[in-house]
Amino acid sequence: MTVPPAQPTPAGSTAPPAGPTFYVTTAIPYVNGDPHLGHALELVQTDVLARHARLRGRPTRFLTGTDDHALKNVSAARAADREVGGFVAERVEDFRALRPALSLSTDDFLSTSSDPRHRPGVEALWRRCAEAGDFYRRSYEGLYCAGCEQFYTPDELDASGRCPEHVPLPERVVEENWFFRLSRYRDRIREEIATGRVRINPAAKRNEVLAFIDAGLEDFSVSRPAARSDGWGVPVPGDPSQVVYVWWDALTNYVTALGYGSDQADPGAADDYRTWWSGGNERVHVIGKGITRFHAVYWLALLLSAGEPLPTTIHVHDYVTAGGAKLAKSAGTAVHPVGLVDAYGTDALRWWFAREVPLLGDAEFTTERLVARHDDELAHGVGNLVNRTLTLVHRFRDGVVPALPRTRASAPDELGSAVGQVAPAVDAALADADLRTATGAVWRIVDAANRYVNAEKPWELAARERAGGTDAGGRLDEVLARLVEACRVVAAELSPFVPDGAARLREQLLPAAAAGGQRAGDDRVGSPDPVFPRLG
Whether the bond into 202 is cis, omega within 30 of 0: yes
Q: Is 329 a catalytic residue?
A: yes
45-69 per-position pLDDT tens digit? 999 999 999 999 999 999 999 999 9
Matching fold, domains 22-344 and 364-514: no
Q: Is 129 a catalytic residue?
A: no
Selected residue with higher pLDDT from 8 and 106: 106
Whole-number pLDDT of residue 167: 60
CA distance 499 to 516: 18
Whole-number pLDDT of residue 7: 36
What's domain 364-514's architecture? Orthogonal Bundle (1.10)
Q: Could you give the percent of the chain with pLDDT greater than 90?
A: 74
CA distance 43 to 40: 5
Q: Is 69 a catalytic residue?
A: no
Which entry of 289, 329, 336, 394 is annotated as an active-site residue? 329
**Residue 14 pLDDT greater than 50, yes or no:** no
| CB contact at 8 A, 461 and 472 | yes
Average pLDDT, the chain: 89
User: Which range, of 68-77, 219-228, 518-527, averages the lowest pLDDT?
Assistant: 518-527
Q: Is 145 a catalytic residue?
A: yes
Q: Could you give the percent of the chain with pLDDT greater than 70?
A: 86
- Tell which residue, 491, 262, 495, has the closest CA to residue 386: 491
Which entry of 166, 289, 336, 380 is annotated as an active-site residue? 166
Q: How far is CA 141 from CA 145, 153, 169, 247, in A?
A: 13, 10, 16, 18
Whole-number pLDDT of residue 323: 78
| CB contact at 8 A, 482 and 415 | yes
Segment 436-453 shows an average pLDDT of 97
| CB contact at 8 A, 192 and 300 | yes
**Residue 349 pLDDT greater than 90, yes or no:** yes
CA distance 283 to 61: 10
Whole-number pLDDT of residue 404: 82
Q: Is 326 a catalytic residue?
A: yes
**Residue 70 pLDDT greater than 90, yes or no:** no
- Tell which residue, 439, 509, 324, has the closest CA to residue 45: 439
Length of the chain: 536
Which entry of 52, 118, 129, 163 is annotated as an active-site residue? 163
Coil, strand, or helix at residue 307? Answer: coil
Whole-number pLDDT of residue 135: 97
**Residue 144 pLDDT greater than 90, yes or no:** no
Whole-number pLDDT of residue 76: 87
Whole-number pLDDT of residue 363: 94
| CB contact at 8 A, 19 and 509 | no
Whole-number pLDDT of residue 298: 97
199-250 per-position pLDDT tens digit? 999 999 999 999 999 999 999 999 999 988 888 999 999 999 999 999 999 9
CA distance 266 to 304: 25
CA distance 501 to 488: 13
Whole-number pLDDT of residue 267: 55
**Residue 131 pLDDT greater than 70, yes or no:** yes
CA distance 234 to 24: 25
Whole-number pLDDT of residue 162: 74
388-431 per-position pLDDT tens digit? 999 999 999 999 999 987 765 555 699 999 999 999 999 999 99
Long-range contacts from 514-522, C-beta under 8 angstroms, 24+ separation: 522/400
Q: Is 374 a catalytic residue?
A: no
| CB contact at 8 A, 284 and 315 | yes
Which entry of 39, 69, 118, 285 is annotated as an active-site residue? 39
Highest mean pLDDT among 24-38, 421-435, 508-522: 421-435
Number of helices (H) and strands (E), helices first, in the chain?
22, 16
379-388 per-position pLDDT tens digit? 999 999 999 9
**pLDDT band with cut points at 50, 70 and 90 for residue 139:** confident
335-347 per-position pLDDT tens digit? 889 999 999 999 9
Segment 275-297 shows an average pLDDT of 95
At a CB cut-off of 8 Å and minimum separation 6, what does 271 contact?
14, 16
Which entry of 52, 69, 118, 145 is annotated as an active-site residue? 145
Selected residue with higher pLDDT from 475 and 404: 475
Instruction: Give pTM, 2 decimals.
Output: 0.90
Segment 423-444 shows an average pLDDT of 98
Coil, strand, or helix at residue 506? Answer: helix
| CB contact at 8 A, 86 and 238 | no
Selected residue with higher pLDDT from 486 and 19: 486
**Residue 254 pLDDT greater than 80, yes or no:** yes
Put the strands of the sheet holding 363-364 in their side by side order: 325-326, 320-322, 363-364
Which entry of 205, 295, 326, 374 is annotated as an active-site residue? 326
**pLDDT band with cut points at 50, 70 and 90 for residue 327:** low
CA distance 300 to 206: 14
**pLDDT band with cut points at 50, 70 and 90 for residue 79:** confident
90-108 per-position pLDDT tens digit? 999 999 999 999 999 999 9
State the fold for domain 22-344: Rossmann fold (3.40.50)
Which entry of 52, 72, 118, 148 is annotated as an active-site residue? 148
**pLDDT band with cut points at 50, 70 and 90 for residue 290:** very high
456-471 per-position pLDDT tens digit? 999 999 999 999 877 8
Q: Which one-letter DSSP state was computed for residue 228? A: G
Segment 130-158 shows an average pLDDT of 78
Whole-number pLDDT of residue 152: 67
Task: Please give the single-letter amino acid code of residue 25.
Answer: T
CA distance 74 to 344: 34
Q: Show me where the domains of the chain are located.
A: 22-344, 364-514
**pLDDT band with cut points at 50, 70 and 90 for residue 71:** confident
**pLDDT band with cut points at 50, 70 and 90 for residue 515:** low
Q: CB neighbours (10 Å) of residue 240? A: 10
